[in-house]
A and B are shown apart, each in its own frame.
Chain A
Amino acid sequence: MSRNLSPDNTTASGLELRRVSIRLNGRVLVDIDIEIKPGEIVTLMGPSGSGKSSLLAHICGTLPSGNAAGFEVGGQVVLNGTSLDGLAPQDRHVGILFQDDLLFPHLSVGGNLAFALPSTIRGRDERQKRIDEALESAGLDGFADRDPATLSGGQRARVALMRVLLSEPNALLLDEPFSKLDTELRDQIRTFVFDQARLRGLPTLMVTHDPDDGAAAGGRIVNPV
């Protein structure tokens, strides 16, 4: 866990979007130049359909590319000093949370977490220990064997966050992650997510159209274009 809790300052320089632009059929969706420090939460605010989600997909490496999709990208995405361009999504160590928790319905809660745990962590006991610790830190002790479908919305959101964190990301992307939670729950989950991101020193980029999200994050608020 030490790696996540206290990022190595020699390499952890954060997430840099160097003059990143995305065009769809010639129209500029995103044109941004920004540096996000470890533990910093930057909010990207803009009307829906403005290509904010496309930017996150581009950072993840899952943006449909090629002629058929019509997206043209420019600029450079750099994470901790390394360019992500050309890297496959699974090699980027960029975690993402969507507005739906997207827990895999065919796996148990523990199975979902184990899916994310890197295979470099070996040994049944060690892996189980990591999963239990993660559940505990989310206030979900003993939930490992539960069917995700039987959890409440708030519990599912917390499992989804723990799943991302267990995959040991170097940056965190949030795609309107709180918009489907009801108001009361929203504050609680928001605090939980932001605290975890800061605690682990993750450069975090959040996309939202809810001004409260930006205010709660307490960081810079920028426009995609």
Chain B
Amino acid sequence: MAETLRRGPIDSMLRFFPAFTLILMIGPVCAGLIGTMLPAFGYLPALGGDGISIDPWRDLLLQPGLAISVRLSLVNGLVATLISLSLVMLFCAAWQGTKVFVVMQRLLSPILSVPHAAAAFGLAFLIAPSGWIVRAVALFAGWDRPPDIVTLHDPMGIALIAGLVAKEIPFLLLMTLAALPQADADRTRQVALTFGYGRVVGWLKAVFPRIYPQIRLPVLAVLAYSTSVVDVAMILGPTTPAPLAVRILGWLSDPDLSHRFLASAGAMLQLILVLVAMAIWRAGETLAGFWGRIWAEGGMRAQGDGAIRSFSAGAAVLTATVVFLGLASLLVWSFAGYWSFPEFLPRSFSLHLWMREYDMLGAILGTTLVIAVLSVMVAIALVLGCLENETRRFQIPGQGVMFLIYLPLLMPQISFMFGLQVFFTGIGLERTLISVVIVHLIFVLPYVFLSLADPFRALDPRYGQTALCLGASPARVFWGVRLPLLTRAVLTAFAVGLAVSVGQYLPTLLIGAGRFATVTTEAVALASGGDRRMIGIYGLLQMILPFAGFALALLIPAVVFRHRRGMADHNRI
């Protein structure tokens, strides 16, 4: 019967939004993977490779230290993911439904908006041999020079793991929060308590098995990211040799163009690595499920779990403290005048560098903002179109579609970026704003969708029905009722998208081919130089736009709806 209803032109267009949106996300990923796979087997006519060969792979295997790079990527990725997930689950088990939980949630969520590179720089400043932590110790121990220890770029990649964990904990916590209501966590937890289970064990046995399937995709995204990260690895990770993804970027940037073949083979190896990491993870899931069932059915109550509860709260507090202190450290360095070891603060502060960089900063912020705003606006329009379409047609997409939405986050960026660069060159869009916006869109879209879908779907459908029965057209219901009710959700999604776009390092660098200097590409470029004051400035700059975005997302609805108390219910993030 739906087909017989009168439909306007926009309404008919709406039905194409989901497919179009998916194509925008999945298309570039596929084009990029193909564009990387061909050169990996020697085919890239532009560079004289017009046959199929396995030479690139032979070159790759001959690279010194390749095995170490591979091991670093794989182990770091798995360990960082396991630690992040364990800490988040323990914390939820110990504190969900308490005041502490709410406080920590507030404390950790701002970290989500901090770009990975900025958080990594902050951590680096804290734990460096001449960083704040050592200075604090030195003041008491009476050291007058930094100790001769390796804390950054350590060969095991411990600093890198710490940096990843600090950023992934808030992400996984937020994803878990979204899953809690669907898993009926509160009541399940209470039932377990009445059976005499300790809080932590009760949660792990009764709630966790229902939460995990819902956060599996985000967890796998964390795994893929940690296994293939470039910017954080350049700032904190081992250097001789570096994890695989960093080395691939090195080969891609080599002036000798023939290294592109080697890099492509490396990028394919990176993809295989991520798939292997996922396979290992899935095997681990199966084992954990098997032992977990036996454990759960064993009936052990474990009521004395005070130590675990303190530990998990401590870990959460430590995460937030480390990130915020790191950011404070960026701030202090950016204004630092003369600052010798072991003084805790610089002897003088100076605006000198900020003044010198002033003109550059404006231009870079401008470029960052243009790319971010364009990609986020397109993403919001597409996502709203998709959600409005499913509301009008009563079709909620299934699990398969969720997988496709996550796909760009499950693929290592470096594995399809070079191929995508080749593809854009092929269609004459190399180094253009359009191609940079498109590539940002690939990563902005999933986050905007994840951020907007729940509030949109949670809106009471009777508002729409009432408005329609009052004689309003579907378009008027959307613009006049649904959209205003979702003001805060849309602005929050905007801020999330902004933070994602601002934080993109590899896509901006490779697709923009150096033409688009954003706060993140400039900041990461400073990593090898070690000019702390400059890093401080650019690290801070990375945070300005995301913070401004989230501040506006809080402020605008509060001002616009200051006389509408009922909007408070619709304005929770």
Contacts and interface: CB of A to CB of B under 8 A. Distances in A.
Interface of A: 57, 60-62, 64-66, 68-69, 73, 85-96, 98, 100, 102-106, 115-116, 118, 147-150, 163-164, 167-169
A95 B469 CA distance: 6
A175 B472 CA distance: 20
B472 A65 contact: no
B484 interface: yes
Nearest to A145: B563
A95 B393 CA distance: 22
A225 to B, nearest CB: 22
Nearest to A106: B484
Contacts of B485: 104-106
B569 A68 contact: no
A68 B394 CA distance: 8
B567 interface: yes
Contacts of B564: 105-106, 147, 149
Contacts, number: 106
A86 B5 contact: yes
Contacts of A66: 2, 393-395
Contact of A60 (B468, B472, B565, B567): B468
B567 A86 contact: no
A94 to B, nearest CB: 6
Interface of B: 1-2, 4-6, 393-396, 460, 462-474, 480-481, 484-485, 487, 561, 563-567, 569-570
Contacts of A150: 565
7 contacts: A65-B2, A96-B469, A102-B462, A105-B564, A106-B566, A118-B471, A164-B469
A105 B473 contact: no
Contacts of A102: 460, 462-463, 466
A116 B561 CA distance: 21
Contacts of B5: 61, 86-88
Contacts of A92: 469
Contacts of B469: 60, 62, 89-90, 92, 94-96, 164, 167, 169
B566 to A, nearest CB: 3
A115 B470 contact: yes
A147 B470 contact: no
Contact of A149 (B462, B471, B566): B566
A130 B72 CA distance: 73
Contacts of A61: 5, 468
A147 B563 contact: yes
Contacts of B471: 90, 93, 116, 118, 167-168
A65 B470 contact: no
B8 to A, nearest CB: 10
A86 B465 contact: no
A62 B465 CA distance: 6
A56 to B, nearest CB: 10
B472 A115 contact: yes
A73 B5 CA distance: 15
A69 B468 CA distance: 19
Contacts of A104: 463, 467, 481, 484-485
Q: By CB atoms of chain A within 10 A, which of B2, B4, B6, B471 has the most?
A: B471
B395 A106 contact: no
A194 B453 CA distance: 40
A195 to B, nearest CB: 21
The 4 closest A-B pairs by CB, nearest first: A105-B566, A149-B566, A149-B565, A64-B394
Contacts of A100: 460, 462
A147 B6 CA distance: 35
A163 B472 CA distance: 13
Nearest to B480: A115
A106 B466 CA distance: 15
Contact of A57 (B465, B472, B567, B570): B465
Given A85-B4, A104-B485, 12 more contacts: A60-B465, A60-B468, A73-B1, A88-B474, A89-B468, A91-B6, A96-B469, A103-B566, A105-B570, A116-B470, A147-B563, A164-B470
B566 A86 contact: no
Contacts of A95: 469-470
Nearest to B468: A89
A173 B282 CA distance: 53
Nearest to B481: A104
B422 to A, nearest CB: 41
Q: By CB atoms of chain A within 10 A, which of B470, B473, B564 has the most?
A: B470
Given A57-B465, A65-B394, A163 B2 contact: no
A209 to B, nearest CB: 18
Q: By CB atoms of chain B within 10 A, which of A85, A95, A102, A118 has the most?
A: A102
B1 A85 contact: yes
Given A106-B564, A147-B566, A115 B394 contact: no
A15 to B, nearest CB: 14
B347 to A, nearest CB: 54
Contacts of A96: 465-466, 469
Nearest to B393: A66
B463 to A, nearest CB: 6
Contacts of A94: 469
Contacts of B463: 102, 104
A167 B470 contact: yes
A98 B460 CA distance: 12
A86 B468 contact: no
A43 B332 CA distance: 73
Contacts of A87: 5-6
Contacts of A86: 1, 4-5
B569 A163 contact: no
Contacts of B567: 105-106
A87 B1 CA distance: 10
A116 to B, nearest CB: 4
Contacts of A164: 469-470
Contacts of B474: 88, 90
Given A95-B469, A102-B463, A148 B394 contact: no
B561 A106 contact: yes
A148 B564 CA distance: 8
Contacts of B563: 147
B561 A115 contact: no
B566 A69 contact: no
A221 B487 CA distance: 43
B566 A148 contact: yes
Nearest to B486: A106
Nearest to A160: B466
A3 to B, nearest CB: 14
Contacts of A105: 485, 564-567, 569-570
Nearest to A175: B462
B1 A65 contact: yes
Contacts of B470: 90, 95, 115-116, 163-164, 167
Contacts of A60: 465, 468-469
Contacts of A93: 471
A90 B472 contact: yes
